[in-house]
């Protein structure tokens, strides 16, 4: 039985103090496949992939075996004058699936630092190529790129970033590519990416001082799984090419097959100058991230020890051997399971099942892309009026789902799903069935007039 004081020293992320008291976290004892098990051995389907990292479910024997084998050899060595075999092998495996001419891989330990590395690379690249005045960044409105200070300068979700923008620094932001609430009043099926007129205006005015444009391709995760059409991404690339602006694709959440392509940028048939990867890289086993660049970027950093061209950045656990071993196994599984090509049937099932939620008046929008699914809730479907925040309806739906054995977490007014790739047809049916039960229970309790 859990002691009443067991959480007295714990500071939970993204959780208010009162919620941590009223709704203490589950203590997970073990996990297998898509299931988590608490101390009482009650099972929960991991509907968010443990914050979007669990590509192949928990305890996949291949990844577990790779980590165990490496643990018996060497757990870590500094990546300064040394490197381990799995880390070296990882760079070869990753390079073999990167899009376009991306070829150089800088390793770090989480998505936020992968973005920090990308921003620093862009700034130093321009300094090394005689354009040291290029110090601004333009970011896609509604973006999220991590919680460290540099990464927050290019994020634009008020709840997360406003306080720090007021006290530190912020980028220039485009209109958000928020199709359900299009800033230009267009429909996603027939638009010409008019929301990116805002990018064109910013580039027209500031291009000579802009270091790079950073964006989450095809789907903006932390703002509510906002999925936008490829035409928006295509126009972003075209505008940056026109004005000679570096592109930084934050693929931390959507890389490695989530969107139906190996990397989300491939929906636009273009590769960026710099790409940030993390989350699913190790299949959810250990922290590891990569910032990858094309040859043009890397060539600017070539020089001897006295050239002032060295990229002076690193992390204690850069290239960690255990994480690299997990990543090698995960990348090999991507190939063996033929990800993303083999996900077509399950992606179609997810899309079909989520559309059944339109039966509820509080559902305003359902959106899916590959193995990403989201349901946006509203107070009024006709007007798209937002839900009363203090009633916490999405939060209650997720609480009710948890009681029934499904672990999901809302993002604002959005219920989303990021299930492992090996989720079966029957398991996906069960996820949706539980979610329907949670919707009905919540509506009966809080919205009985519906």
Q: Is residue 120 part of a domain?
A: yes
Q: Tell whether 394 and 297 lie within a shared domain.
A: no
Per-residue pLDDT for 40 more than 80?
A: yes
Domain limit, last residue, from 336, 370, 400: 336
pLDDT in tens, 317-335: 999 999 999 999 999 999 9
pLDDT band at 1 (very low <50, low <70, confident <90, very high): very low
Among candidate residues 312, 336, 360, the one where a domain is terminated? 336
Claim to verify: residue 258 and residue 380 sit in the same structural domain: no
Contact 278, 254 (CB under 8 A): no
Is residue 310 one of the residues assigned to a domain? Answer: yes
| Residue 245 within a domain | yes
Q: Which CATH number fits the domain that encloses residue 324?
A: 3.40.640.10
Domain check: are 253 and 277 in the same one? yes
For position 3, what pLDDT does the model report? 53
For residue 8, tell me if it sits in a domain: no
Residue with tokens 């050899």: 73
Domain count across the chain = 2
The domain boundary residue, chosen from 309, 336, 363: 336
Q: Do 228 and 155 fall within a single domain?
A: yes
pLDDT, greater one: 3 or 390: 390
Phi then psi for residue 416, to 5 deg, are: -130, 165
d(CA 429, CA 417): 13
Q: Supply 64's token pair.
A: 């577990």
Same domain (yes/no): 211, 326: yes
Same domain, yes or no: 177 and 198: yes
| Co-location of 50 and 90 in the same domain | no
Same domain, residue pair 325 and 406: no
Is 412 part of any domain?
yes
Task: Evaluate whether residue 3 is within a structural domain.
Answer: no
Q: Do 292 and 146 sit in the same domain of this protein? A: yes
For residues 358-375, average pLDDT: 98
Same domain, 170 and 112: yes
Examine the domain organization and report whether 421 and 278 are in the same domain: no
How many angstroms separate the CA atoms of 431 and 61, rounded?
Answer: 24
What is the reported pTM?
0.96
Closest by alpha carbon to 194, among 224, 147, 235, 159? 235
Average pLDDT of the residues in 127-143: 98
CA 180: distance to chain centroid?
20
pLDDT of 134 reads 98
User: Is 38 a residue whose pLDDT tops 70?
Assistant: yes
Question: Domain span at residue 419?
Answer: 17-55+340-446
Which residues of 109-183 form beta strands (DSSP E)?
A: 136-139, 172-173
Residue 112 pLDDT exceeds 80 = yes
Strand 414-417 with 410-411, pairing: antiparallel
Tens of pLDDT, residues 219-266: 999 999 999 999 999 999 999 999 999 999 999 999 999 999 999 999
């Amino acid at each position: 039985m859990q002691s009443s004081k067991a959480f007295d020293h714990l500071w939970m992320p993204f959780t208010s103090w009162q919620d941590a008291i009223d709704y203490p976290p589950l203590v997970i004892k073990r996990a297998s496949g898509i299931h988590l098990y608490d101390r009482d051995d009650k099972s929960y389907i991991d509907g968010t992939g443990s914050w979007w990292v669990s590509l192949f479910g928990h305890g996949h024997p291949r990844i577990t075996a790779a980590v165990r084998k490496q643990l018996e050899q060497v757990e870590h060595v500094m990546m300064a004058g040394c490197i381990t075999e799995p880390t070296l092998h990882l760079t070869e495996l990753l390079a073999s699936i990167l899009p376009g001419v991306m070829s150089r891989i800088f390793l770090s330990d989480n998505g936020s630092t992968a973005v920090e590395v990308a921003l620093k690379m862009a700034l130093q690249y321009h300094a090394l190529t005689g354009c040291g005045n290029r110090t601004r960044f333009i970011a896609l409105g509604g973006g999220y790129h991590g919680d460290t200070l540099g990464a927050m300068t290019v994020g634009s979700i008020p709840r997360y970033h406003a306080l720090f923008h007021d006290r530190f620094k912020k980028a220039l932001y485009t209109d958000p590519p928020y199709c359900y609430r299009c800033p230009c009043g267009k429909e996603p099926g027939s638009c010409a990416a008019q929301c990116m007129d805002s990018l064109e205006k910013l580039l027209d005015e500031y291009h000579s001082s802009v270091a790079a444009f950073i964006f989450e391709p095809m789907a903006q995760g932390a703002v509510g799984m906002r999925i936008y059409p490829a035409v928006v991404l295509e126009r972003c690339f075209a505008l940056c090419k026109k004005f000679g602006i570096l592109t930084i694709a934050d693929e931390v959440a959507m890389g490695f097959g989530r969107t139906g392509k190996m990397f989300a940028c491939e929906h636009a048939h273009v590769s960026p100058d710099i790409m940030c990867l993390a989350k699913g890289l190790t299949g959810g086993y250990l922290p590891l991230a990569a910032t990858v660049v094309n040859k043009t970027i890397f060539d600017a950093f070539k020089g001897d020890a006295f050239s002032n061209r060295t990229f002076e950045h690193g992390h204690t656990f850069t290239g960690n051997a255990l994480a690299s071993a997990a990543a090698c196994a995960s990348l090999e599984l991507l190939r063996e399971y033929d990800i993303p090509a083999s996900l077509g049937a399950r992606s179609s099932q997810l899309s079909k099942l989520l559309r059944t939620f339109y039966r509820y008046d509080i559902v305003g929008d359902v959106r899916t892309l590959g193995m990403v699914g989201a349901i946006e809730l509203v107070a009024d479907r006709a007007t798209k009026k937002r839900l009363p925040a203090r009633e916490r309806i999405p939060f209650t739906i997720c609480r009710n789902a948890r009681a029934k054995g499904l672990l999901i977490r809302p993002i604002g007014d959005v219920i989303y799903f990021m299930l492992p790739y090996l989720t079966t047809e029957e398991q996906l049916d069960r996820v949706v069935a539980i979610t329907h039960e949670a919707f009905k229970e919540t509506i009966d309790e809080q919205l009985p007039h519906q």
